[in-house]
Structure 1
Amino acid sequence: MAGPLFSTAELKFNKELAGLLRNQGFEVFLPQEHEQRKDLPAAIFASDLKGLDWADAVVACLDGADPDSGTCWELGYAYARKKLSIVYRTDFRLFEGTDPINLMMSESADHVIIMPMAEIADLVAEIARLLKEKRLLKEKSKTAAKGVLE
């Protein structure tokens, strides 16, 4: 999971979202569980990078007047590594004009979820649906490849 983790509200939201995804059977790397603010910047960066490399997908929060810069970097890294990326926005504010998400984020993401003021459970249901869909496609692809080899 990628997103801001600088306030009590953000930390609580992240924890609840991760917990609900875990309850659906997904493994989740949540940076706030692996790093502490007292850690050296290099250690925090290394921990996040390890989590990104481990993950099959990146689920990123783009709420706020401007998306968190670290989250944007993580999405760019995921894009470069050809990892599935799902971005979501529960914030009802729009960016300049009428675009709900910065075009660099929306165009590089595999899926964009816009759910203003959504309940966390509803957001998790949509994220889980997309992840399960991708997992099924991956499994079908492996089965098809296996069938060709046999």
Structure 2
Amino acid sequence: MVNYDIYISAPLFNEMEIEFNNKVDAFVRNLGFTTYLPQRDGGEDEKLLRNPELYPEASRRVFERDVQALKNSRILLMLIDGRVPDEGACVELGMAYAYNKICIGFQTDIRKFSGLQNNLMIDYSFTYNIAHTWDELREILLKIKNLK
């Protein structure tokens, strides 16, 4: 079993999302953390998901592998940008919270559920206040790194 410092939870369904996820991953790695990034570390199963005949088997493998990676991570970093948070990322946040992981949110998007905050089930699942800038994210991550 591979252990990771941080599981990066984010949507990964278009070029913009994938590019942003890679940028966050590089940022986190440059601070000295190991990461699990599903779009990179998930393997070939994501490509199989495009074939409807293989979907049930491939989707089960993707789910099980990502859940195991989450269990083997110390921290969940959820990227919250978008009109609404990604459904899969919300499930991962709930799992991480239930597994007593450190949960961090990163939201550069100004759109929110009620104009002032996200859905309370999301906002109150985080261990720290949501980071809205790269500097705030760095500050939180360095604080955690110093707690080791």
**TM-score normalised by structure 1 residue count:** 0.79
Identity %: 32
Separation of aligned partners in 2, 1:133 and 1:20: 15
Q: Which has the higher helix share?
A: 1
TM-fit CA distance, 1:114: 4.8
* Alignment gaps of 5+ in structure 2: 1-7, 50-57
* Alignment gaps of 5+ in structure 1: 116-121, 140-150
TM-fit CA distance, 1:99: 2.8
Task: Provide, for residues 76-128 of structure 1, a one-character-per-residue CA deviation record: whole Å limited to 9, x for no partner.
Answer: 001001000001211122323x333111011111123252xxxxxx52x4323
Structure 1 runs of 4+ aligned residues shifted over 4 Å read none
Separation of aligned partners in 1, 2:30 and 2:98: 29
- 2:10 is the counterpart of 1:8: no
Specify the structure having the higher radius of gyration (Cα): 1
Secondary structure (helix, strand or coil) at the match of 2:123 reads helix
Secondary structure (helix, strand or coil) at the match of 2:124 reads helix
Match of residue 85, structure 1, among 97, 100, 103: 103
Q: Is the 8 A contact 2:131 2:137 kept in 1?
A: no
Alpha-carbon spacing, 1:103–1:52, altered in 2? closer, same or farther (3 Å): same
* 1:1-150 correspondence runs (5 A): 1-35=8-42, 36-39=46-49, 40-96=58-114, 98-115=115-132, 122-123=133-134, 125-137=135-147, 139=148
Secondary structure (helix, strand or coil) at the match of 1:108 reads coil
Separation of aligned partners in 2, 1:31 and 1:81: 19
Q: Is the 8 A contact 2:76 2:101 kept in 1?
A: yes
Separation of aligned partners in 1, 2:106 and 2:117: 10
Q: Is the 8 A contact 1:2 1:61 kept in 2?
A: yes
**TM-score normalised by structure 2 residue count:** 0.80
Number of residue pairs the alignment of both structures matches: 130
- Give the alignment's Cα RMSD to 1 decimal: 1.6
1:130 counterpart letter in structure 2 = I
